[in-house]
């Protein structure tokens, strides 16, 4: 492993982060478990950054990929593609967007990049509203709208970005307000911004901020925003790259917690739909999707191999009600973790819903983020046989827990026990 790490450092960028003081190579997985090259077995509570959504080596997906690879792997969007059309039909059906059109990409970054292109072309404006503490990808345009300093390496951007409040409930100038007053204050902030600028193209927002540490506003905030946006003709882009496909348990889409104003104008997705294969995409009503007046194709977006995987994966998820499982098992897990947190002075908050849970760590007796402790817990959890992630705003001090949605109650209890030991060893 040390040899592979040395080789990695010789050919990969310095900014390509690796977890752990001694990075591990994951060689194979099954269900909710993975193994490293040294033979160590881990319970996977991060799923390749929320990407292994159903299970590792899910037989239905493996079979679909193998059979498709035996026929044809790729032809580009210049030719009719049956698996792409079939998956687009299923996605349009469950999207909640009327007269929906679907465009496939290879990643969430590219999906958000496409949504920004569509919105700015449709609205003829390069101004975009984004949330503070947000993350939307690593391309030039998506870095330019990311509201998280730790993931935005340049201030240069093709877009003018204006950041509004609301993505973080328990920090910032409105944190002490109750939910209704919090929403009112964020809406007032939005109205104030719109009074000082030319009308933006769109607001892009994650229903639950992923890289930001699984933070979220009170339910209904984006519905309240939507009412204001519609007065100005501004589009709403829901970034569902991490929240989509039932991960939050209560809904198939994160935006549905803010649904009384209707669906977003555009929804972006990726990660879990492919269960590890490279799928991203945009859903939009036809009027918006068809607004481009120049040629466009996708070489690898919608390729037959990934579409076969996505169709098998989505079918499995819906037929086995993994959304319901995320709600039930996730509810038990978050309550178990909250009981642990109540005994530890360094845990500021346990938050989230479904199987998307964040644990924010602070220096005991303060409200100051503690990235050192987060790194220590990450290491201790790995040593105990559990893989988790981390994130956060100004400092990476939130633990991110996002297992495959097929997680069992026994596995949730096992992971919680390992995490409890890791937290207690740190504090």
Give the model confidence (pLDDT) of 23-54 as tens digits.
999 999 999 999 999 999 999 999 999 999 99
Contact 286, 315 (CB under 8 A): no
Q: Where are the beta strands (DSSP E) in 125-251?
A: 127-131, 160-164, 202-205, 235-239
Nearest Cα to 326, choosing from 402, 390, 417?
402
Q: How far apart are CA 127 and CA 199, in angstroms?
A: 8
Q: Where are the domains of the chain?
A: 2-58+321-426, 63-319
- Please name the helix (run of DSSP H) or strand (run of DSSP E) that holds residue 30, with its range, or none: strand 26-30
Confidence check: pLDDT of 394 > 80? no
Percent of the chain with pLDDT over 90: 93
Q: What is the mean pLDDT of the chain?
A: 96
Distance separating alpha carbons of residues 381 and 12, to the nearest angstrom: 27
CATH 3.30.450.40 fits domain 63-319: no
Percent of the chain whose pLDDT exceeds 70: 100
Segments in 195-321 forming alpha helices (H): 221-232, 286-289, 304-319
Residue 1 has what pLDDT? 59
Least trusted range by pLDDT, from 133-142, 276-285, 310-319: 133-142
Contact 404, 317 (CB under 8 A): no
Could you report the per-residue pLDDT of 151-173, keeping only the tens digit for each?
888 888 899 999 999 999 999 99
Residue 305's beta-bridge partner residues? none
CA nearest neighbour of 360 among 376, 346, 379 = 346
Q: What is the per-residue burial (b if ≥16 Cβ within 10 Å, else e) of 177-206?
A: eeeeebbebbbebbeeebeeeeebbbbbbb
- The pLDDT score that the predictor gives to residue 259 is 78
pLDDT over 90 at 260, yes or no: no
Ranges of beta strands (E only) in 189-340 are 202-205, 235-239, 266-269, 280-285
Q: Which helix (H) or strand (E) holds 128?
A: strand 127-131
Topology (CATH) of 2-58+321-426? 3.90.1150
> Average pLDDT for residues 200-217, to the nearest whole number?
96
Which pLDDT value is given to residue 270?
98
- Predicted TM-score (pTM) of this structure: 0.95
Give yes or no for a contact between 388 and 399, defined as CB atoms under 8 angstroms apart: yes
pLDDT at 217 over 90: yes
Count of alpha carbons within 13 Å of 328, Cβ hemisphere only? 10
- Apex 110 CA angle, 129 and 80, nearest 5: 130
Per-residue pLDDT of 82-135, as tens digits, reads 999 999 999 999 999 999 999 999 999 999 999 999 999 999 999 999 999 999
pLDDT digits (tens, 9 = 90+) for 119-128: 999 999 999 9
Measured over the CA atoms of residue 361, residue 362, residue 364 and residue 367, the dihedral's sign is: negative
Q: Do the Cβ atoms of 367 and 345 come closer than 8 Å?
A: no
Residue 236 CB-density burial (10 A; 0-12 exposed, 13-18 middle, 19+ buried): buried
By 3-state DSSP, what share of the chain in percent is helix, strand and coil, each rounded to 5? 40, 20, 40
Distance of CA 191 to the CA centre of its chain: 27
């Amino acid at each position: 492993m040390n040899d592979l790490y040395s080789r990695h450092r010789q050919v990969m960028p310095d900014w390509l982060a690796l977890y752990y003081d001694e990075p591990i190579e994951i060689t194979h997985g099954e269900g909710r478990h993975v193994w490293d090259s040294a033979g160590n077995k881990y319970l996977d509570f991060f799923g390749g950054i929320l990407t292994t959504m159903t299970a590792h080596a899910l037989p239905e997906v493996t079979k679909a990929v193998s059979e498709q690879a035996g026929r044809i792997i790729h032809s580009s969007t210049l030719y009719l593609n049956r698996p792409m059309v079939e998956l687009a039909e299923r996605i349009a059906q469950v999207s909640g967007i009327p007269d929906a059109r679907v465009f496939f990409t290879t990643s969430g970054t590219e999906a958000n990049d496409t949504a920004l292109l569509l919105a700015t072309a449709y609205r003829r404006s390069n101004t975009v509203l984004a949330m503070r503490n947000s993350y939307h990808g690593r391309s030039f345009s998506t870095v330019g709208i990311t509201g998280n300093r730790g993931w935005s390496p340049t201030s240069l951007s093709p877009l003018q970005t204006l950041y509004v409040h609301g993505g973080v409930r328990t920090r910032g100038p409105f944190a002490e307000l109750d939910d209704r007053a919090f929403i009112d204050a964020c809406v007032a902030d939005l109205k104030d911004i719109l009074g000082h600028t030319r009308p933006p193209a769109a607001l892009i927002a994650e229903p639950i901020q992923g890289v930001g540490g699984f933070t979220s506003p009170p339910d209904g905030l984006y519905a309240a925003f939507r009412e204001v946006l519609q007065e100005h003709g501004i589009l709403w882009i829901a970034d569902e790259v991490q929240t989509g496909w039932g991960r939050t348990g209560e809904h198939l889409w994160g935006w549905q917690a803010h649904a009384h104003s209707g669906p977003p104008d555009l929804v972006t997705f990726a990660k879990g739909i492919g269960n590890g294969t490279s799928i991203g995409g945009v859903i939009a009503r036809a009027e918006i999707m068809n607004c481009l007046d120049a040629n466009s194709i996708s070489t690898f977006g919608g390729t037959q191999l990934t579409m076969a995987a996505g169709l098998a994966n989505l079918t499995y998820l819906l037929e086995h009600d993994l959304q319901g499982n995320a709600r039930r098992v996730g509810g038990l897990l978050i309550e178990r973790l909250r009981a642990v947190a109540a005994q530890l002075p360094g845990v500021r908050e346990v938050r989230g819903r479904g199987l998307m849970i964040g644990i924010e760590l602070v220096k005991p007796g303060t409200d100051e983020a503690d990235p050192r402790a987060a790194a220590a817990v990450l290491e201790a959890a790995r040593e105990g046989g559990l893989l988790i992630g981390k994130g956060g705003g100004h400092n990476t001090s939130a633990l991110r827990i996002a297992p495959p949605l097929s997680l069992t109650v026994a596995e949730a209890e096992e992971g919680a026990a390992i995490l409890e030991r890791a937290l207690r060893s740190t504090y």
